[in-house]
Amino acid sequence: MREIFLYLTIILLLISCKRDITKDKTSDEKYKNTKLLINFHRLPESSSFEVIIKAENNENLDIEVNDLNIYSNRGEIGQLKKISKNEFKATITADGTGEYKIVSSIKHTNVKSSKTAVVLSYVDENWNQPEAVEGLVNTKGWEDGVAVSSDGQWLFIQYLPVPIDCIISGDPDNELCKKVIGPVDAPYRPDMPGAERVLSDGTIKNECPSLNFYNPPFPVPPNSLYGFRRQKDGSFKEPFPIYFAGSDGCISAFGPALFSETNNNILLFAFDNPLIEESESTHGDLYALKVKLGKKIILGRFVKNENKILLKEFNAKTIGNPYEGHQGNPHHWKSNNGKIFVFYDDENNRKDLFCTNTNFGILSERWNESIKIPPPISSQTYLEAQPFFDGKFLYFRREIEILKSKWKGGKFSEKDSWEKPVIVLKGDGFSAKKENILGVGEPTIAKIGTKQELYFVYIIKTEQGTLDLNIGRVKSR
Q: Give the rounded distance of the alpha carbon of 206 from its chain centre.
A: 28
Residue 256, in any domain of the structure? yes
Count of domains for the chain: 2
My answer on whether 181 and 211 are in the same domain is yes
pLDDT at 58: 77
Say how far apart CA 157 and CA 244 lie, in whole Å. 15
Residue 13, in any domain of the structure? no
Residue that terminates a domain, selected from 70, 95, 119 = 119
Residue that terminates a domain, selected from 119, 147, 175 = 119
Say how far apart CA 328 and CA 331 lie, in whole Å. 9
Task: Provide the edge-to-edge strand list for the sheet that holds 122-123.
Answer: 122-123, 422-426, 401-406, 393-398, 384-389
Of 247, 401, 253, nearest to 329 by C-alpha is 253
Task: Provide the edge-to-edge strand list for the sheet that holds 328-334.
Answer: 328-334, 340-345, 353-358, 371-372
Residue 2, in any domain of the structure? no
Cis before 443 (ω within 30): no
CATH number of the domain where residue 286 is located: 2.115.10
Say how far apart CA 93 and CA 72 lie, in whole Å. 10
My answer on whether 60 and 98 are in the same domain is yes
Of 362, 357, 326, nearest to 342 by C-alpha is 357
Say how far apart CA 272 and CA 234 lie, in whole Å. 34
275-278, long-range: CB < 8 A, 24+ apart: 275/309, 275/310, 275/311
My answer on whether 178 and 230 are in the same domain is yes
pLDDT at 3: 52
My answer on whether 143 and 77 are in the same domain is no
Residue 114, in any domain of the structure? yes
CATH number of the domain where residue 74 is located: 2.60.40.10
DSSP string, 281-323: --S-EEEEEEE-TTS-EEEEEEEEETTEEEEES--PEEES-TT
The CA–CA distances, whole Å, from 141 to 144, 279, 309, 343, 440 equal 10, 34, 30, 28, 17
Say how far apart CA 131 and CA 118 lie, in whole Å. 5
DSSP string, 111-122: -EEEEEEEE-SE
Residue that terminates a domain, selected from 119, 139, 154 = 119
Helices and strands in the chain: count of H runs, count of E runs: 5, 31
My answer on whether 168 and 240 are in the same domain is yes
Of 126, 308, 329, nearest to 225 by C-alpha is 329
pLDDT at 29: 78
My answer on whether 282 and 180 are in the same domain is yes
Say how far apart CA 155 and CA 362 lie, in whole Å. 20
My answer on whether 109 and 136 are in the same domain is no
My answer on whether 144 and 39 are in the same domain is no
Say how far apart CA 330 and CA 282 lie, in whole Å. 16
My answer on whether 50 and 137 are in the same domain is no
Residue 330, in any domain of the structure? yes
φ and ψ at residue 304, rounded to 5 degrees: -95, 135
My answer on whether 285 and 317 are in the same domain is yes
Provide the residue-wise pLDDT of the chain in tens; the chain has 477 residues: 555 444 544 444 444 444 444 444 677 778 878 999 999 999 999 999 999 999 998 778 888 999 999 999 999 999 999 999 999 999 999 999 999 999 999 998 999 999 999 999 999 999 999 999 999 999 999 999 999 999 999 999 999 999 999 999 999 999 999 999 999 999 999 999 999 999 999 999 999 999 999 999 999 999 999 999 999 999 999 999 999 999 999 999 999 999 998 889 999 999 999 888 766 666 899 999 999 999 999 999 999 988 899 999 999 999 998 878 899 999 999 999 999 999 999 998 889 999 999 999 999 999 999 999 999 999 999 999 999 999 999 999 999 999 999 999 999 999 999 999 999 999 999 999 999 999 999 999 999 999 999 999 999 999 999 999 999 999 999
Residue 149, in any domain of the structure? yes
Can you tell me whether residue 217 is helix, strand or coil? coil
pLDDT at 22: 44
pLDDT at 25: 61
DSSP string, 255-288: EEEEEEETTEEEEEEEE--TTS-GGG--S-EEEE
User: Which residues, 6 or more positions from 14, have their beta carbon under 8 angstroms from its beta carbon?
Assistant: none
Residue 176, in any domain of the structure? yes
pLDDT at 10: 43
Say how far apart CA 275 and CA 323 lie, in whole Å. 14
pLDDT at 9: 47
My answer on whether 99 and 220 are in the same domain is no
Q: What is the span of the domain harbouring residue 135?
A: 131-475
Residue 23, in any domain of the structure? no
My answer on whether 326 and 437 are in the same domain is yes
